[in-house]
Amino acid sequence: MKVLVINCGSSSLKFQLINSEDESVLAKGLCERIGSEGSRLVYSTHKIDKKELDKDLKDHTDAVQMVIDTLTDKEIGVIESLKDVDAVGHRIVHGGENFSKSVVIDDEVIKAIEACNDLAPLHNPANLIGIKACEKLMPHTKMVAVFDTAFHQTMPEKAYMYGIPYEYYDEYKVRRYGFHGTSHSFVSERAAEMIGKPLSETKTIVCHLGNGASITAVKNGKSVDTSMGLTPLEGIIMGTRSGSIDPAIISFLANKENISVNEVMDILNKKSGVLGMSGISSDFRDITKAMEEGNERAKMTMDAYCYSVAKYIGSYITAMNGVDVIAFTAGVGENNPYIRKEVCSYFKYLGVEIDDEANSQRTEDAVISTDKSKVKVLLVATNEELKIARETLALI
């Protein structure tokens, strides 16, 4: 079977065509700058390294059409016709409280996703446009919605309720939802497999450290707490997001700078985090390099970042009354040995010990703690697209 995985952003569309027999990626790509000048598809297959195809893409329907045309192209395509696509799996950012697992898409589901638009105004409408474009161009293909928030619906009330008047939960559903659920679920399953323990008996802390980043406590296979909240702004310091701050900073800055709350929010989302702190970059490669060259603000930023990750891990060890595995994943988690080591240095009191050689090598998935370490520390390559394809197949 072949599953097309679609991840629609406001001006982009990422896709992968996955062969379920061996879970290989037959083709993948990214349509960028949809709706503006210079739109194009960056495309690769198991045979073609990377091809940039310029095309005027006025909307997401154009982009889906281009993806279909490219996948079925005589020269660079990987399938004969659209009939070879057995199902489409859509990544949906916010499922609110309506969705605790993936679902086959029908009109009711579309309405329920629309009802969550308020909670993710930048993401959900774009995700829906992707669904509608696919419906139009491939009306007979089954489609499944896989939600970033669904995995976290197992959190207990005490973890998802905020200390604000209850009416806001009742009326607007203001609560912690959490994100990156597909990744946290994939990585926690893989981590249990790697240490040879049943998932149902394992306490795992997954550190998904990418540009956006979140940490989840997974107890016996279920998310019991996670660092992102109502929106992805809460939690650890990120590439450009501040993570958790004193909420009073918002009105303080608005008054001092004579700007609106929305403008402050924009700063907290796009100009803060390691970018804002270091004044250098949101990319951890640049921060690491500057730090190694003796830049003090880069060092301060890195210290604050690692400290914020360690504090969440510490609180989740308390939440689960212990931990068996700490797993690092995503761009930074998979590629930055300094951060992994620095974060783990806070848990020496628990007997966490990093194997420097294993930690410095970049293999696919690896145990990076020593044999003696009381807690296993792992590097796990996340694969959200594969997880979406698996969920999609399971439902059709």
Q: Name the nearest CA neighbour of 178 among 196, 156, 160, 200.
A: 160
240 lies in the site for ligand ADP, by CB under 6 A: no
The stretch near ligand ADP (CB under 6 A) out of 29-37, 191-199, 252-260, 327-335 is 327-335
Q: Which DSSP symbol is given to 88? A: E
Between CA 90 and CA 165 the distance in angstroms is 35
DSSP 151: G
Establish if 283 lies at the interface with ligand ADP (CB under 6 A).
Answer: yes
237 vs 241: CA distance, rounded Å:
6
**CB distance 268 to 233 below 8 Å:** yes
Q: Which stretch binds ligand ADP (CB under 6 A): 6-14, 129-137, 223-231, 325-333?
A: 325-333
Q: How far apart are the first and last CA of the chain?
A: 11
Report residue 374: phi and psi, to 5°.
-75, -25
Locate 305 and state its tokens: 């970042």
69 classed as catalytic: no
Please compute Rg for the chain using Cα positions: 21
CB of 228 to ligand ADP, least distance (A): 12
Count, in order, helices (H) and strands (E) of the chain.
15, 14
- For ligand ADP, which is the closer residue by CB, 287 or 319? 287
Residue 212 near ligand ADP by CB under 6 A: yes
Q: Which stretch binds ligand ADP (CB under 6 A): 67-75, 221-229, 265-273, 283-291?
A: 283-291
204 versus 383: smaller Cβ distance to ligand ADP: 383
Among 77, 89, 178, 210, interactor with ligand ADP by CB under 6 A: 210
Q: How far apart are CB 333 and ligand ADP at their closest, in Å?
A: 8
Q: Is 376 left (phi over 0), alpha (psi -120 to 50) or beta?
A: beta
Q: Does 231 bind ligand ADP (CB under 6 A)?
A: no
Output the smallest distance, CB 336 to ligand ADP, in A. 5
d(C-alpha 82, C-alpha 134), whole Å: 11
Site string for ligand ADP, 169-208 (x = CB under 6 A): ----------------------------------------
Asked if 328 touches ligand ADP (CB under 6 A), the answer is no
Q: Does 336 bind ligand ADP (CB under 6 A)?
A: yes
Of the candidates 182, 157, 178, 174, the one whose C-alpha atom is nearest the C-alpha of residue 102 is 182
Identify which of residues 336 and 373 has a Cβ nearer to ligand ADP in the complex: 336
Q: Which is nearer to ligand ADP, 136 or 271 (CB)?
A: 271
As beta bridge partners, residue 15 has 6, 29
Among residues 49, 69, 106, 148, which one is catalytic? 148
Chain residues in the site for ligand ADP (CB under 6 A): 210-212, 239, 283-285, 330-332, 335-336
Q: Which residues are catalytic?
A: 148
